[in-house]
Amino acid sequence: MQKRKLGNSNLEVSAIGLGCMGMSFGYGPPADKQEMISLIRSAVDLGVTFFDTAEVYGPFTNEELVGEALAPFRGQVAIATKFGFKPAADGEDRWSELDSRPEHIKEVAEASLKRLRVETIDLFYQHRVDPTVPIEDVAGAVKDLIQEGKVKHFGLSEAGVQTIRRAHAVQPVTALQSEYSLWTRTPEKEIIPALEELGIGFVPFSPLGKGFLTGKIDESTTFDSSDFRNVVPRFTPEARKANQVLIALIGKVAERKKATPAQIALAWLLAQKPWIVPIPGTTKLHRLQENIGALSVELTPDDLREIDDAASKITVQGARYPEKLEQMTGR
């Protein structure tokens, strides 16, 4: 398994990580727990050393799952988790309120350490920027946790450039996690140049466009009633139909490279910068193997130019989040 370092930090992880959210939350009913433990352990066997979770996934059940699955591999893998949401008491509207007060961050860290069954959190992200708490206070709270040995690295998720700079001045940011893929390229304008300048790694989530870039979803696909994609504007049947033009482009390259569309989408991301580590999620072993197979797909400069030229003529239809969640990004 190829390894990559996240920015200037000493956090070295497998070049492709595993996003674990969908095992418990977001994409329909939770998968069978024993099957997911087995899948996570298969990922370790395949060389994956970077696993992503958050307290709010479930809430709490995903951290517990990841903690149990990775208990035999302490010291061999890195687990990233997140703070910053205030899980609703009834567990229903999990994304309603933000809470990044320093005292809350420290409470979350203690609870996450227990659920993950670790003594130190490898990478602790602020899940979304909380406009009511100065980012300097957030960075300061994580700095305290690092000094206490409870956290190793500080991360941000979906933050804007100014916030990243301000946080980094207080406590060096190891990684930014934001959505980035062939159909979400907004980070290229300001975020990626800033990360390069500051020596911060980039962890793209939804690198396969929440499944769309695999080519397995069209306008007639139906999702479970609890699937988050039902409320995503980019997943209306009309948008899915309009966005097939991007799938056709990826499919053409995949055919030529004897690869799958998912592998092309991941190989494209990996080719952007050597400090980018995508974290595709899955609940299926064959998809996990397929995703890791992207590491052996080599896109030449000509391939990359062709993809960029063709993609630049395509306007992706539909926002990537409902308005309420969209407002939480890029702050």
The span from the CA of 71 to the CA of 299, in Å, is 37
The span from the CA of 63 to the CA of 135, in Å, is 25
Smallest CA-to-CA distance from 266 within 11, 10, 14 is with 14
Give Rg (Cα) of the chain: 19
Which residues, listed in sequence order, are joined to residue 201 by a DSSP beta bridge?
Answer: 175
The one catalytic residue in 57, 125, 180, 321 is 57
User: Is 321 labeled as catalytic in the residue annotation?
Assistant: no
* Contact between residue 205 and residue 198 where contact means Cβ atoms under 8 Å apart: no
The span from the CA of 266 to the CA of 195, in Å, is 20
Q: How far is CA 297 from CA 2, 150, 259, 293, in A?
A: 13, 38, 7, 7
- Residue in this structure with the two tokens 């609940």, named with its chain if needed: 283
Active-site residue set: 57
